Amino acid sequence: MIEIDARGKPPLGMTPARFLREFWQKKPLLIRNAFPDFVTPIEAEDLAGLACEEFALSRIIEHDRATDRYTLRTGPFAEDEFPGMPDHDWTLLVQDVDKWDADVAAILPRFDFLPRWRVDDVMISFAATGGSVGAHVDQYDVFLLQAKGHRRWQIDASANPPLAFRADAEIKLLREFTPTHDWVLGPGDMLYLPPGVPHHGVAEDPCLTFSIGMRAPSAAELLGDFVDTLAADADEAMRYADPDLAPAKDTFEIDDAAMSRAIEALNALRMNDADRLSHWFGRFITAYRSSGIVAAPGTVIDRATIEQALNEGQTLHRNPFSRIAWRKVTRGALLFIAGQSFAMTVADAKRVAASAEIDIGVYARLGDAAREAVAELAAGGHYQLAGDEEE
């Protein structure tokens, strides 16, 4: 099975446990009516306006059919550029739209069967008729939700598809692509693709597509940050040592004994403590691929200011660019947010992580350590105060 109708059980058409067992990172799945009667919360004009913002990550990819050439341009774009665009063969892509638009972010709880820290962003693309970014392959899981119009998706679900890239393109496009499946998706339909599945989408008419991406760090990225952390924390007194040195047979040879000592020196740096390992990974994964700059507020905000404001009915809103997670450790829990960590009780860590908004009711149930953490995070711009009239 590679296609299912989910109208009776959206958004997967099956239980999350079954989806994770049979499809997640294993094989593609076309889900008809994943979001029945879906109405897009954002229009093409809104996306174009966002692409003009300085801090939004946006791209335009144009395709010349005569030469089969793809051209890439990056934003921000001028507002007067879009009215002059042709009515065919181009695509606008904007990353992190869920961080900019609360109505788009409201889609994410439908994917709560996955850890939220695995969700990278909701990228939205507008494609004019015939618009495409070419046949390509991603190294992350993605849910492609058709939001408006229709897009033809072709995929190569064969066991060992060719993955060589074209040498004549600015973007990584496949040199060869032979589809095994071909579908047209309408509003509310969704295609799940695990990593490594070649795919090609072409707009049948002007359309919007939401890409819910679940990017994960490569082993090289994990190792690089892990080693950097080990090196930063290492005691200078921990060195290569050879108290058992014997007279050299050849003064230029690196013998087996020397290699054993080098391995011992490296092994001494291993992060064997589970809590320390948790501390490293939580900080790393909540900062991974962060594309937004979280800046401290212009005015000083401290715990007393926060508590007074909350008592007056205001609410703390978490910055949408501040990724959050938590983990149990030997004593309580660690709350991670945007590469920082805070020790507190398990109950408080769960409560803060689950609360995109903190009002006096949530705050009153927090212990002192959690309140201090919230105050520090607010001072750094990870929470902002908003009164009822501003919401």
The packing angle between helices 274-287 and 219-233, to 10°, is 120
CA distances from 30 to 4, 7, 111, 188 (A): 6, 13, 16, 11
CB 293 within 8 A of CB 380: no
Q: What CATH code is carried by the domain that includes residue 323? A: 3.40.366.30
Total domain count, the chain: 3
Per-residue pLDDT of the chain (391 residues; tens, 9 = 90+): 799 999 999 999 999 999 999 999 999 999 999 999 999 999 999 999 999 999 899 999 999 999 999 999 999 999 999 999 999 999 999 999 999 999 999 999 999 999 999 999 999 999 999 999 999 999 999 999 999 999 999 999 999 999 999 998 889 999 999 999 999 999 999 999 999 999 999 999 999 999 999 988 999 999 999 999 988 888 888 899 999 999 999 999 999 999 999 999 888 887 778 899 999 999 999 999 876 678 888 787 899 999 999 999 999 999 999 999 999 999 999 999 999 999 999 999 999 999 999 999 999 999 999 999 999 999 999 999 986 444 3
In angstroms, the CA 382 to CA 356 distance is 11
Q: Which of 183, 158, 162, 159 is nearest to 173 (CA)?
A: 162
CB 332 within 8 A of CB 343: yes
Residue 358 forms part of a structural domain: yes
**235 φψ region: left (φ > 0), alpha (ψ -120 to 50), beta (else):** beta
Q: Are residues 164 and 223 in the same domain?
A: no
pLDDT of residue 268: 85
Residue 42 forms part of a structural domain: yes
**Beta carbons within 8 Å of 145's beta carbon, 6+ residues apart:** 34, 35, 38, 107, 188, 189, 190, 209, 210, 211, 212
Q: Are residues 103 and 250 in the same domain?
A: no
Q: Which residues pair with 185 in a beta bridge?
A: 151
Q: Are residues 372 and 341 in the same domain?
A: yes
Considering the entire predicted model, what is its pTM? 0.91
Residue 280 forms part of a structural domain: no
44 phi and psi angles, rounded to 5 deg: -60, -40
Q: Residue 75's CB: how many other CB atoms inside 10 A?
A: 19
pLDDT of residue 3: 96
Q: Are residues 245 and 206 in the same domain?
A: no
Q: The domain containing residue 236 runs over which residues?
A: 219-272
Residue 201 forms part of a structural domain: yes
